[in-house]
């Protein structure tokens, strides 16, 4: 059983009107679920959890991309591969990210009716930086730069290829002079169907020259990460308008990503499928909120990620029908371009508020009912050894799913 790991911590102190000092801290626990189906391993890690500190509040979010939805992916050609490698090397600061984003307007991108974002600090996200798995801000206030998905995929694929190459090289020694090819994808069945073959490069050859990197252009995981990235970079409040705007802002970078990588025959193939009634629809649940030093909690819940508090004043219900951010890819025949249609339901965007809370647990759908039951009778006081909440969190959950939990605590440190 994979145990969750602590990935992030924030802390802030303040002195209240009575002279008491409070601290605000957050921990994020994440565990990638086991593969639901090894032969169809597609989107491991589609949970995205993040926190950020703004003034006297901690903002938090968990997004859970739908794991079995369709993935629009394409194998990169050599030119793109090289370009992206160079970009990933250059992207070593947030400022670099923002410069590139500004310059990321692509001629092929059709206008999606995007307006300048009135939200302070918003950056129009480019494809190089959409793959934030966990946004974290350390104690000194520096923002940790996330690894881009491309670099992640490339490095993973390279490792895999290295292993493959060693195996194949041994085989080559046995069959001298023979030309060897092997599937580089774990999804052998898919490869069989698509007829793709990945050339295996012998050890010692520079793998950076290798083309054929598989890039996900539009998927539920990409959607979740793109929204999370906007939440990280944008100043926002917990209200309908800001959240709608943040979600709306990701349409353009998603389309840019698709247009950048889809050309010629592959573009035509996608158009043919869309015209043929096949659905390229992706979705993600989303819970986003803000917990302040004065004990006020504000949140918006879209879907089945939930939230509990101590004292146990907050009772969320899993939102089932229409409980997702949904985006569908369409083709505009008249304008000859792709568009994204976003569905958000008004009833899920209503902010809720609670006051005088000390602790808040925000979690994806893996522990809801039992955990809520436990919170009604327990508290996190005491040592970890005798505290039932932490005991529960440390026990095997066996839900066979990704798991995310953010724990935010307001604690009175001392009174003057």
Partner 1 sequence: MEESSPLPVSRNLGLCIMLLDCSGSMNLSAFPNHPLSKRELITTAVTAAIYSLTGLGTKAFAYMMLIGFDHETKILLPATSLEDIFNKFPDHIDFEQFLLNKMPNRNGATDINGALRIAYHYTQKFIDGDLKEQLGDYSPAVQSIIDSDLNTHSIPNVRVLLFTDGEHYLGDDDRNLMPSPFNNLSFKGKNINLLMSAFYGEEQENGYAQLLSLVSHCPKHPGTPQFFHYNTPAKLPSLKGLFRMASGASGFCPKCLEESHFATTDL
Q: Which residues bind partner 1 (CB under 8 A)?
A: 1, 33-40, 42, 66, 68, 70-75, 187, 190-191, 193-194, 196, 214, 262, 266, 269-270, 273, 277-279, 281, 283, 320-324, 326, 328, 341, 343, 369-370, 373-374, 388, 391-392, 394-400
Minimum CB separation from partner 1 for residue 19, in Å? 39
Is-contact 359 310, C-beta < 8 A? yes
Minimum CB separation from partner 1 for residue 345, in Å? 8
C-beta neighbour count of 370 within 10 angstroms = 10
What is the residue whose two structure tokens read 């840019």?
256
State the maximum Cα–Cα separation within the chain, in Å, rounded to a whole number: 82
Any long-range contacts for 8-17 (C-beta under 8 Å, 24+ apart)? 8/51, 8/134, 8/136, 8/137, 9/139, 10/51, 10/52, 10/53, 10/58, 10/137, 10/139, 11/139, 12/53, 12/56, 12/58, 12/293, 13/413, 14/56, 14/293, 15/416, 16/293, 16/294
Minimum CB separation from partner 1 for residue 191, in Å? 8
Q: How far is the C-alpha of 376 from the C-alpha of 361, rounded, in Å?
A: 13
Residue placing its CB nearer to partner 1 in the complex, 4 or 388:
388
Minimum CB separation from partner 1 for residue 90, in Å? 27
Helix (H) or strand (E) holding 415, with range, is strand 403-415
Q: Name residue 301's beta-bridge partners.
A: 287
Q: How far is the C-alpha of 113 from the C-alpha of 134, rounded, in Å?
A: 30
Minimum CB separation from partner 1 for residue 342, in Å? 8
Residue placing its CB nearer to partner 1 in the complex, 86 or 194:
194
Residue placing its CB nearer to partner 1 in the complex, 131 or 298:
131
Minimum CB separation from partner 1 for residue 273, in Å? 8
Minimum CB separation from partner 1 for residue 373, in Å? 7
Residue placing its CB nearer to partner 1 in the complex, 132 or 325:
325
Residue placing its CB nearer to partner 1 in the complex, 30 or 302:
302
Q: Name residue 306's beta-bridge partners.
A: 363
Residue placing its CB nearer to partner 1 in the complex, 166 or 373:
373
Helix axes 149-174, 78-90, angle to 10 degrees: 130
Residue placing its CB nearer to partner 1 in the complex, 187 or 380:
187
Minimum CB separation from partner 1 for residue 70, in Å? 5
Residue placing its CB nearer to partner 1 in the complex, 169 or 328:
328
Minimum CB separation from partner 1 for residue 221, in Å? 12
Q: What does the CA dihedral 104, 107, 109, 111 come to, rounded to 10 degrees?
A: 100
- Strand runs labelled E in 157-303: 214-218, 281-292, 297-302
- How far lies 407's CA from each of 56, 372, 415, in Å? 17, 14, 24
Residue placing its CB nearer to partner 1 in the complex, 75 or 98:
75
Q: Name residue 281's beta-bridge partners.
A: 328
Rounded to 5°, angle at Cα 43 from 99 and 47: 70
Residue placing its CB nearer to partner 1 in the complex, 41 or 142:
41
Instruction: Report CA 195 to chain centroid distance, whole Å.
Output: 30
Residue placing its CB nearer to partner 1 in the complex, 96 or 191:
191
Rounded to 5°, angle at Cα 97 from 93 and 102: 145
Q: Name residue 298's beta-bridge partners.
A: 290, 353
- Dump the DSSP string for 130-149: ---S---B-TT-PBPPPPPH
Minimum CB separation from partner 1 for residue 258, in Å? 11
Minimum CB separation from partner 1 for residue 308, in Å? 14
């Amino acid at each position: 059983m994979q145990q969750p790991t602590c990935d992030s911590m924030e802390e802030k102190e303040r002195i209240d009107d009575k002279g008491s000092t409070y601290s605000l801290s957050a921990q994020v626990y994440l565990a990638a679920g086991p593969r639901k189906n090894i032969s169809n391993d597609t989107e491991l890690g589609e949970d995205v959890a993040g926190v950020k500190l703004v003034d006297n509040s901690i903002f938090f979010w968990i997004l859970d991309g739908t794991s079995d939805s369709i993935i629009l992916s394409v194998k990169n050609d050599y030119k793109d591969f090289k370009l992206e490698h160079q970009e990933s090397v250059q992207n070593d600061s947030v400022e670099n990210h923002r410069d590139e984003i500004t310059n990321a307007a692509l001629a092929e991108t059709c206008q999606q009716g995007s307006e300048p974002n009135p939200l302070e600090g918003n950056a129009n996200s480019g494809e190089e930086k959409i793959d934030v798995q966990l946004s974290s801000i350390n104690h000194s206030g520096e923002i940790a730069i996330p690894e881009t998905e491309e670099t992640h995929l490339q490095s993973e694929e390279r490792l895999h290829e290295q292993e493959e190459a060693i195996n194949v090289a041994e085989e080559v020694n046995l069959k001298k002079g023979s030309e060897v090819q092997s599937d580089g994808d774990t999804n052998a069945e898919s490869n069989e169907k698509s007829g793709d073959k990945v050339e295996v490069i012998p050890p010692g050859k520079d793998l950076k020259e290798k083309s054929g990197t598989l890039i996900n252009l539009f998927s539920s995981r990409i959607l979740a990460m793109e929204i999370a990235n906007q939440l990280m970079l944008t100043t926002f409040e917990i209200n309908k308008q800001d959240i709608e705007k943040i979600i709306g802002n990701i349409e353009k970078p998603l389309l840019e990503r698709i247009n950048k990588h889809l050309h010629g025959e592959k573009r035509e193939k996608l158009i043919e499928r869309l015209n043929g009634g096949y659905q390229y629809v992706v979705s993600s649940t989303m819970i986003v909120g803000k917990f302040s030093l004065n004990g006020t909690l504000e949140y918006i819940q879209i879907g089945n990620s939930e939230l509990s508090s101590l004292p146990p004043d907050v009772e969320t219900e899993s939102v089932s029908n229409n409980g997702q951010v949904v985006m569908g890819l369409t083709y505009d025949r008249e304008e000859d371009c792709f568009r994204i249609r976003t569905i958000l339901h008004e009833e899920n965007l209503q902010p809720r508020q609670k006051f005088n809370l000390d602790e808040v647990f925000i979690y994806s759908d893996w522990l809801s009912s039992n955990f809520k039951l436990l919170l009604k009778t327990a508290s996190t006081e005491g040592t970890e050894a005798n505290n039932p909440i932490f005991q529960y969190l440390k026990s095997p959950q066996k839900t066979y799913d990704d798991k995310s939990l953010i724990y935010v605590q307001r604690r009175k440190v001392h009174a003057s």
